[in-house]
Amino acid sequence: MKASFQKYILNFKQASGTSRGVLYTKETYFLKLVENDTIGIGECGLFKGLSCDDTPYYEEKLKWLCANIHQNKEFLLQELMEYPSIQFGLEQALLSLKSENIFDLFPSKFTKSQDAININGLIWMGSEAFMKQQILDKLKAGFSTIKMKIGAIDFETELSLLKSIRKEFSSNEIELRVDANGAFKPKDALEKLNRLAEFEIHSIEQPIKQGQTNEMAELCLKTPLPIALDEELIGIFDVTKKQKLLQIINPQYIILKPSLVGGFNGSEEWIHLAEKQQIGWWITSALESNIGLNAIAQWTYTLGNKIPQGLGTGGLFINNFECPLEVKKGYLNYNNLKNWKFNL
């Protein structure tokens, strides 16, 4: 078996705002395996500024993987423990290599176009007018769950946007999720959660910055609306430490981005621990290209989680790869009449 990798820059169709800043491009890497003329492809979805493996040695680790690809999978995954996005790329590439179809990693009713995945519509930060237009567009497109990023513009303005949705749509008609990306200060977070709860919010992701374990635990105990941990899970590799974090904070939900938490294996470890504590969960992509998104979507379908997932990011880039994934009326579909166009 031989392995190689290639860097690729994804360009956003329009600048996408988060509380960490505005995104214009997204760097990613593709891992290619070749064995007996058979090819396997995986995406190592590095997320600059967020991934724990955003280090100066990232490409050196990819070179190491390519040089040691003859080693067994368990050894490689263990050695890549602190590089979760590379772990995930390797998992994908090995599955791809062994599949009848290079992009059909988890054959199911989803990949046969017989079923679809319920997803939320994502509202990016920006001006009030820009965010309002996005909301209208998502509702028109048939989404029944909307996730709005908050924490970058004035909080009162964000509340007025939520209020305008609730004036027209009840919580039975539209489910509202918000994602603060750690933007709130611990001292005023509970007050903000109380105000958000007036609009029957389904959940809030990461209200305060990760690493404030005791403050987050207190918030999860007192919160009037469910809290979902997201960034809090990044950089925790040991299963005992994962269990301890969930036991201390005891959140209502956790959100899993395979590129950030160690791929399928790392995500399933979190899911197992969460379910033991009766903590809910869902899966979200982390701005991968359609290669990584396809892998996440196919795997997510096999998990049988019926609540809306965060997998609607495939249309964000101008230079993404054409593929069978399609978003229709708030659902992610796999149209197997459409062909892949992946030309690296």
In a domain, 104, yes or no: no
Claim to verify: residue 81 and residue 125 sit in the same structural domain: no
* CA 56/CA 259 separation, integer angstroms: 18
pLDDT at 15 over 80: no
pLDDT digits (tens, 9 = 90+) for 16-46: 766 567 788 999 999 999 999 999 999 999 9
Claim to verify: residue 125 and residue 174 sit in the same structural domain: yes
Model confidence at 84, pLDDT cuts 50, 70, 90, reads very high
**CB contact at 8 A, 287 and 110:** no
Q: At which of 66, 98, 130 does a domain end?
A: 98
Claim to verify: residue 246 and residue 140 sit in the same structural domain: yes
* CA 249/CA 246 separation, integer angstroms: 5
**Closest by Cα among 278, 210, 202 to 245:** 210
Residue 27 has what pLDDT? 95
In a domain, 223, yes or no: yes
Number of folded domains that form the chain: 2
Claim to verify: residue 92 and residue 211 sit in the same structural domain: no
Determine the structural domain holding residue 27 and report its residue range.
2-98
The active-site residue out of 138, 147, 149, 192 is 149
pLDDT digits (tens, 9 = 90+) for 275-321: 999 999 999 999 999 999 999 999 999 999 999 999 988 888 999 99
In a domain, 111, yes or no: no
Residue type, 306: K
Look at strands 227-229 and 253-256 and give their pairing.
parallel
* DSSP 8-class letter at 231: G
Claim to verify: residue 243 and residue 303 sit in the same structural domain: yes
* CA 143/CA 156 separation, integer angstroms: 25
- Per DSSP (E only), the strands in the chain are 2-18, 21-35, 38-44, 117-118, 121-123, 145-149, 175-179, 203-205, 227-229, 253-256, 280-283, 325-328, 331-334
Claim to verify: residue 195 and residue 290 sit in the same structural domain: yes
pLDDT digits (tens, 9 = 90+) for 169-218: 899 989 999 999 899 999 999 999 999 999 999 999 999 999 999 999 99
- CATH code of the domain in which 82 resides: 3.30.390.10
Claim to verify: residue 161 and residue 92 sit in the same structural domain: no
In a domain, 258, yes or no: yes
Claim to verify: residue 70 and residue 141 sit in the same structural domain: no
**Closest by Cα among 184, 165, 229, 185 to 203:** 229
Residue 61 has what pLDDT? 98
Claim to verify: residue 187 and residue 91 sit in the same structural domain: no
In a domain, 330, yes or no: yes
Residue 19 has what pLDDT? 55
Please indicate whether residue 257 is annotated as part of the active site.
yes
pLDDT digits (tens, 9 = 90+) for 236-268: 999 999 999 999 999 999 999 999 999 999 999
- CATH code of the domain in which 248 resides: 3.20.20.120
Please indicate whether residue 147 is annotated as part of the active site.
no
Model confidence at 124, pLDDT cuts 50, 70, 90, reads confident
